[in-house]
C-alpha cells in the first residue's frame, strides 16, 4: 500500500522524523500525525478491545475515535487532531477506555 503526498503544485516546509511503533516516519511541518501516517501507508491506528479489529482514520475531524493512538505515552490521542512534532513517539493503541496499552 503506497499512499502518498500530492507532489504537483505544492511547496512544503521543513521535514523531520517521528517514530511510529519503532519505525522512522517522514513528516513535513504543518502535518498532523494522521496525514503523515496516511502518506507512509500506515492505516491501522488502533485495535479494538473486544473484537480485536483494526481501526483507522474515519471521520477525520476528531469525533469517531478511530484514530486514537498512544502519543508520547499519552493514550487516546486523536492523531487527526494532533500536529506531529519532531521526534514524537507514536504507538498503535489497543482498546479505548483503559490506559491504552500499546502494541
Partner 1 sequence: MREVELAIIGGGPAGICAAIEAVKCNVQVTLIEENSRLGGQFYRRLADGFAIVNQRQLDKYYVQGTKLIAELEQYRRKIELMENALVWGIFPDKEVVLLRDGKTEILKAQRLILAEGAYDRPVPFPGWTLPGVLTAGAALRMVKTEKVLPGERILLAGSGPLQLLLAAHLVRAGAKVVAMLEASPLNNSWKHLPHLLGQWELLKDGLDYLWELRKAKVPLLRSHAIVEAKGEEQVYQAIYAKVDSDWQIVPGTEKNVEVDTIITGYGLIPSGRLSRLCGCRQKWDPYLGGWIPERGEYMETALPGIFTAGDCNGIEGAAVAAEEGRLAAIKICQELGHITPEEASRRCSPIFKKLRGLRRFESALNNIFAIRRGLLAQIPDEVIICRCEEVTAGEIRRVIAEGMTNINEIKALTRTGMGPCQGRMCAPIIAEMVSIKTNRPVGEVGFSTPRPPIKPIPLVGVARYKSSWERKVE
Return the closest-CA partner of residue 26 out of 45, 42, 47, 46: 42
For partner 1, give the closer residue by CB, 20 or 45.
45
For partner 1, give the closer residue by CB, 24 or 58.
58
Cα radius of gyration (the chain): 13
Task: Yes or no: say if 32 and 80 are a contact pair by the CB < 8 Å rule.
Answer: yes
Binding site for partner 1 (CB under 8 A): 1-6, 8-14, 28-32, 34-35, 38-39, 43-45, 48-51, 53-66, 68, 76, 80-81, 83, 96-97
For partner 1, give the closer residue by CB, 12 or 24.
12
Amino acid at each position: 500500500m503506497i499512499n502518498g503526498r500530492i507532489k504537483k503544485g505544492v511547496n512544503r516546509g521543513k521535514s523531520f522524523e517521528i517514530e511510529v511503533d519503532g519505525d522512522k516516519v517522514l513528516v513535513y511541518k504543518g502535518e498532523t500525525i494522521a496525514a503523515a501516517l496516511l502518506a507512509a501507508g500506515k492505516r491501522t491506528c488502533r485495535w479494538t478491545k473486544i473484537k480485536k479489529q483494526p481501526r483507522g482514520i474515519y471521520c477525520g475531524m476528531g469525533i469517531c475515535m478511530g484514530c486514537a493512538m498512544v502519543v508520547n505515552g499519552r493514550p487516546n490521542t486523536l492523531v487527526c487532531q494532533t500536529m506531529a512534532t519532531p521526534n514524537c513517539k507514536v504507538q498503535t493503541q489497543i482498546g479505548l477506555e483503559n490506559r491504552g496499552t500499546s502494541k
